[in-house]
Every structure is written in structure tokens, then in C-alpha cells.
Structure 1
Amino acid sequence: MSNLLLFSGPAVEPVTIAEAKAFLRLDTADDDALVAAAIVAARQACESFTGRALITQSWQLYLDHWPERDITLPRPPLQSVTSIKTFDADGVGATLDPATYWVDASALPGRVRRRSDAVWPSPGRDVAGIEVTFVAGYGDSWNDVPQSLRQGILMTVANFYEYRDALHPVTLPAPIGALWQPYRLVRL
């Protein structure tokens, strides 16, 4: 079994408040907090829909045991693996030497493979005995995110803004889904 936790979220959003206000045709700062919250919610909706990390963020993947072949790292695109640790029965972590594994950041999703001559220690606890910390996302700037994902986020912000009362449930409009669909990860 595995468990994925956000360790450090994005420092910026893929759409600026100024961009969103221009898209919404807002001139005043009256709704800046509402627009900012809608941007965060729209990014989270996009990440949930696509299964990807948009802006650089750190994640921790916990595993109960070593997989037979590769450790698959969700939330592509993978930028790097920060560390791989195993924990003993007392919860004390030991970091693996990076020379014992390969990182394939070009795969979707990214993956880690043990080198054939390496021996990885067995975790000393049965639950979450292995921790993989990794960095994912298109980059540090909103400019690194593909334009169709950003456009869909702007459209989602507009949808959230227009239907912000609780009386209208918000669903993903078809044009937004069409923009995000090419980036959606499909599990086989």
C-alpha cells in the first residue's frame, strides 16, 4: 500500500490575480481575496483532473514494501528525487545512497529503479517503512505551465466567480475539460 502527502505546496499560482481580474473584467480590488481563493481552487481542480503538479511542489510517497521493479512517482512532471529513506522498527530513518538507484524524470509518471548491483535495506516497520521525497511540477513560475492548462484555470476562476453562491453547484464545463483532457493521466 502507498500514501501520498503534499510536503511543500507551490510558492506561486499558475495564474496571477491581475490576469484573473483582467479575464473577469474587474477594475477594483474589492474582490481580490475572492479571486485569489478561486485561483487556488481552480489550480487544485486542474491538478485533480489531470493528476499532475502544475507549479514546483514537494511530495512524500510512503510505501509499505519495495515494489518488484519501479517506484512510480505520481503527480508528474517529475523534477527530482530529494531522498529515499527506510525506517526501522523504532521509526529511525536511514537515507539511501543516490548511487543505488536511477531516476527517470522523463517517464510519465516519473519512476525510480534500483540499480542491479544495489541492495536496498528492508524496512523495519510494516506500515509506511519507505519514504520517497520528490519534487514535481512544470517549474517555479506561472510561465512554465502549458498555456491550455492556464486558460482552463482562468475559465474555471470565471465559473467559480459567476456561480459563487451555494445555490448553484459548480461542474466542469466542457470547454475546460477539452483544454485539460490532453494532459490527463490515464491508468491502464
Structure 2
Amino acid sequence: MMLIEETTVPQSALPVGLFKEHLRLGSGFSDDGLQDGLLEGFLRSAMAAIEARTSKVLIERDFALTLSAWAEPGQQPLPVAPVSAVAEVALLDRTGQEHPVNAAAWRLRPDMQRPVLLATGSGLPAIPQAGSVRLRFLAGFGPDWSDLPSDLQQAVMLLAAHYYEYRHETQFDGGCMPFGVTALIERYRSLRIGRGLV
């Protein structure tokens, strides 16, 4: 399985101004935007860390998932949520030649924890020998910062502020998240049992 992020979070969707207020940085000075690039980096890092812990995509983006086999003949769980649309399912033969699958052969079952691509018939199309299947889909709570639930907004701010505060710290701390962030994201984490998700 290979998941590729095909688009990134646009700069306009990042709440740099709100983050400055959260950090209580001064405003109205001539060098007001001097740290914007740095603050943007901390926000992106915090969002990436939270997405990795929760398997939730915060700001809407396009993804491509490539598989060599279906998880089950009639359904394929998607590795991130929430998924709002599956744009394409294509079979790739051993030479890389693409064969689009008719959209009538599958449908998306949206779910906040485990979205699934379902076959509308007896099963999903057979993957060619030594080939693969590629799914393109749109995932995320929405295109804007305001589309995120308030607890996830707060978690991003807290973690980005933590990164900002300890930006010169080089000692390894085991990769622990601050307790407040962990508490805020806990309800979004998927319970993993074996190879599947619950």
C-alpha cells in the first residue's frame, strides 16, 4: 500500500494571524510579517503530527492510494478520514497501462473513523496479475481552517506553540506530545486491532 498526498495545504488556509494571537506576539510593527514563514512551518508540522496520530486529514487535500490487492473482495477501507469523494478508481497492468473502472462498479461509504470503498455488485474489479489499483480521493474536514472541529483547532495551536517555544531544544525527548494535545485528539484516534481498524 502506498498513500501519496497529491496536493498540499494552501498557505491561505493556515491561521498564521490566529497563531500570532495565540502566542501573544506584538503587532503593528514594521517587521510584523518577519516570522510568518517560521510560524507557518510550525503550524504545518503540528498539523502533520496530529494527522499522523489520528489518521484524520485536517485541511482538505487530494490523495492517491495504490494497492497490489484488495483488503476484501467486496470492500477496501481507506487509510485516512474523513473522505468526501472518490474521484477515480483505475487498474494498472504490469506495464503501467491504466484502465479506468466504471464509477457504477463502486461507491463510497463515508465514515469518520473508517471510510470504505464498496463494490456495488458481487465484488471489486480483479486487479491484473503483477499489476495494481489506484484510488484517487478527496479527504479532510473542509478547505478552510474554520471547517475543523474546535478541539482539533486548539490541539494544532497548542502543539505549534510547543514547537515554537522549544524551537532551540535539541535534546531527544522520546517524541511525546504535550498532555493537553493528547487529551484533545484522543477521541479522533482509531483503535487498531491486527491489520484492520475498528
Normalised TM-score (structure 1): 0.90
Change (3 A) 1:88 1:74: same
Distance 1:138 1:119 in 2: 27
Asked if residue 60 in structure 1 is aligned to residue 59 in structure 2, the reply is no
Equivalent position to 1:158, from 141, 157, 161: 161
Equivalent position to 1:83, from 69, 72, 88: 88
Find the counterpart in structure 1 of residue 37 from structure 2. Answer: 33
Change (3 A) 1:136 1:87: same
Distance 1:29 1:9 in 2: 22
Change (3 A) 1:12 1:109: farther
Find the counterpart in structure 2 of residue 44 from structure 1. Answer: 48
Q: Is this contact kept in 2: 1:5–1:59, CA < 8 A?
A: yes
Shift of the alpha carbon at 1:14?
A: 6.2
What count of residue pairs does the alignment treat as equivalent? 185
Asked if residue 148 in structure 1 is aligned to residue 151 in structure 2, the reply is yes
Change (3 A) 1:149 1:13: farther
Find the counterpart in structure 1 of residue 116 from structure 2. Answer: 111
Normalised TM-score (structure 2): 0.86
Letter in 2 for 1:9: T
Shift of the alpha carbon at 1:49?
A: 1.3
Shift of the alpha carbon at 1:41?
A: 0.5
Shift of the alpha carbon at 1:148?
A: 0.4
Find the counterpart in structure 1 of residue 29 from structure 2. Answer: none
Find the counterpart in structure 1 of residue 23 from structure 2. Answer: 24
Higher relative contact order (CA 8 A, sep 6+): 1
Letter in 1 for 2:35: D
Q: Is this contact kept in 1: 2:63–2:139, CA < 8 A?
A: yes
Change (3 A) 1:160 1:54: same
Percent of paired sites with the same residue? 24
- In structure 2, list runs of 5 or more residues that go unmatched: 27-31, 194-198
Distance 1:122 1:110 in 2: 21
